[in-house]
Amino acid sequence: MTTIKAAGMTRREVYEAQQRKRSLIIAATSTLVVVACLIIFVPMSPGWEKVQRSFFNGDVLSDTFPKLLDAFKINLMIFAWSAPAIAILGLLIALARDAKSPALFPLRIFGAAFTDIFRGVPVILTVYLIGFGIPGLGLPRPWNSPYIWGSLALILTYSAYVAEIFRSGIDSVHQSQRSAALSLGLSERQVMRDVVLPQAIRNVVPSQMNMLIALQKDVSLLSFIGPVEIFRQAGVFKSLTANFTPYVGAAIIFLIVTIPATRYADYLMSKQRKDRS
Amino acid sequence: MAKLSLRGVVKQFGANTVCDGIDLNVEEGQMVCLIGASGAGKSTLLRCINLLEAVEDGEIFLDGEDIAEPGLNPQGVRARIGMVFQSFNLFPHMTALENAMLAPRRVHGRSKADLVGEVKELFTRFGLADRMHNYPDQLSGGQQQRVAIIRALAMRPEVMLFDEITSALDPQLVGEVLDVLLMLKQQGMTMVLATHEMGFARQAADKVCFLKDGKIIEEGPPEALFDAPEREETKAFLARALK
């Protein structure tokens, strides 16, 4: 004890250091036990060799992985143009739903109907209906492209959710901020633009990050209407190699992107919670 | 003619009458203090004057013009009447300087470059020159409230309303905010305060009004009202407040 105290630690710090060491040892031991069990018992199951061959085949993985990465660029591309469109449309819908002037009443109804419809229908159904339906009108190239209409389906669906998150953000700005801004002579529109929205948007950044992550994954739904993105590409390789490993490869590629993004969103969330308390 | 004049102002929230026929005259350069228990209607009356609440009945004259006229665009009136709140209500996403420059830029259409000199001058005058570029959460309560006063003054208002602006402050910070009010009084600003600071009201006010249940029960110069109140309600309130 005295030697540790010589290092300049208080009694509490000494106690806490011991506690930390203890929990570290317990956590490491229990993790080791679980991993060891997995390594020992999973291969003992009767179907393991078959599963290993068809899902975790190293040769298939190294053959297909670069091409899967190539196909993932299509996901990124669709994501890259959909995300800004969703942010803009979502914000406009949120503002439309909060519009107060009677002249804008139709806009309010439209906003409410929009969010009800697109939150109420499964994404895949919207993708099918818009992705097959609109090109079915007999539009000339390039206007019959599934890239356009598939993206539109994603944009409409996600805007509905994003709009609701923006609205909750607008509601989260305290009424006294509006009072203060109005008392200075600002118009309703200026109050919204200069005082309420900047705070509202900041408040919902973590939630919107989660929407972005979900969108990144849902881009794969477009594979059902044509674009050969990573999921579709993995399916092609599965047929060619008669092996499911390409799907595992696709999952790994998704995780490389989504895990850091999810961690970052969680970090923002906890930071915000700390800031508020 | 009084700078600000209220005639029979009535404000109701549902069945609850918060201001019940209030008459009040505020002369140019006067400081009028509204005192009374919480819920007496002081804050609501100030919000009515700034048109943050629409009055049910009565008239409010600013330079002889009735600003309580239903349907009147409140923006022009609010630009002429500054208001400071109990909870400061600074905009947390802007620095102190940006807080003060927002309204003159948006409402009067003035450029940052044109404004920055005179706004900085306000910060200097109220001892906050070294705090201009801080965000509100980096300032103490007293500093935040002084920034809120500067923000209102940057609009060059003709009348200032103060809604219990020291009630949310630690006792040792109250003085620095009240000092600002004294400076404004010296410069001839017309002011209406809702306040619980009886000592300050007695020392600085030109007129004190005692409100109870949405009515002005008694009003007069501070010496008269504090030392020789006529109404029993006033005596009872003062006995409790000055204890």
- Give how far A194 is from chain B: nearest CA, Å: 8
Confidence at residue A2, expressed as pLDDT on a 0 to 100 scale = 47
Write down the pLDDT at residue A272. 80
- Residue A11, CA atoms < 13 Å, CB-side half-sphere: 0
B103 and A186 within 8 Å at the Cβ level: the answer is yes
Residue B73: name the closest of B54, B99, B58, B47 by CA.
Answer: B54
Nearest to A180 among B85, B93, B106 (CB): B85
Interfacial residues of B (vs A; Cβ cutoff 8 Å): 47, 50, 52, 74-76, 78-83, 85, 87, 89-93, 102-103, 106-107, 148, 151-152, 155
Cβ–Cβ below 8 Å for B52 and A182:
yes
CA distance A178 to chain B (A): 9
Contacts of residue A187 in chain B, CB cutoff 8 Å?
75
| Contact between residue B77 and residue B158 where contact means Cβ atoms under 8 Å apart | no
Say what the pLDDT of residue B96 is: 96
Ordered mean pLDDT values, 10 residues apiece, chain A (277 residues): 62 92 95 93 88 89 92 94 96 89 88 93 93 85 87 96 96 95 95 96 91 93 89 92 92 93 88 75
Contact A186 B76 (CB under 8 A): no
pLDDT at residue number A276: 65
SS3 B180: helix
In the numeric block, the tokens 């669709």 are attached to A78
For chain B, which domains are there? 28-48+70-241 (3.40.50.300)
Taking an 8 Å cut-off on Cβ atoms, the answer to whether A194 and B151 are in contact is no
pTM as predicted:
0.85
The reply to whether residue A190 touches residue B106, judged by beta carbons under 8 angstroms, is yes
Residue A1, pLDDT score: 47
Residue A113 burial (10 A CB sphere; 0-12, 13-18, 19+): exposed
Q: What DSSP designation does B71 have?
A: T
pLDDT at A270: 86
pLDDT, mean of residues B74-100 = 95
Nearest CB neighbour to B52, from listed A183, A187, A202: A183
> Which of A172, A173, A178, A184 to mutate against chain B (most B CBs within 10 Å)?
A184
State residue A5's pLDDT score.
53
Q: Nearest chain A residue to B161 by CA: give it.
A: A183
Summarised one tens digit per residue, pLDDT across range B163-196 is 999 999 998 899 999 999 999 999 999 999 999 9
Query: pLDDT (tens digit, 9 = 90+) per residue, B10-66?
Result: 999 999 999 999 999 999 999 999 999 998 999 999 999 999 999 999 999 999 999
**What does the mean pLDDT of chain B come to?**
94
pLDDT score at B174: 93
Are the C-beta atoms of residues A146 and A135 closer than 8 Å to each other? yes
**Alpha-helical segments (H) within chain B:** 42-49, 74-80, 96-108, 112-125, 141-153, 171-186, 198-204, 222-227, 232-241
Residue B122, pLDDT > 90, answer yes
Contacts of A181 in chain B (CB under 8 A): 91, 103
Residue in the block written with tokens 């002011």: B191
Strand partners, A65: none
CA B240/CA B135 separation, integer angstroms: 39
Which residues of A touch chain B, with CB atoms under 8 Å apart?
176-177, 179-187, 190, 194-195, 198-199, 202
Nearest residue of A to residue B154, measured between CA atoms: A184
Inter-chain residue contact B76 with A185, CB threshold 8 Å = yes
Could you tell me the strand order of the sheet in which B65-66 lies? Answer: B16-26, B4-13, B57-62, B65-66
- Which of B77, B91, B115, B160 has the highest number of chain A CBs within 10 A, making it the mutation to test binding with A? B91
Q: What is the nearest CA distance from A200 to chain B, expressed in angstroms?
A: 11
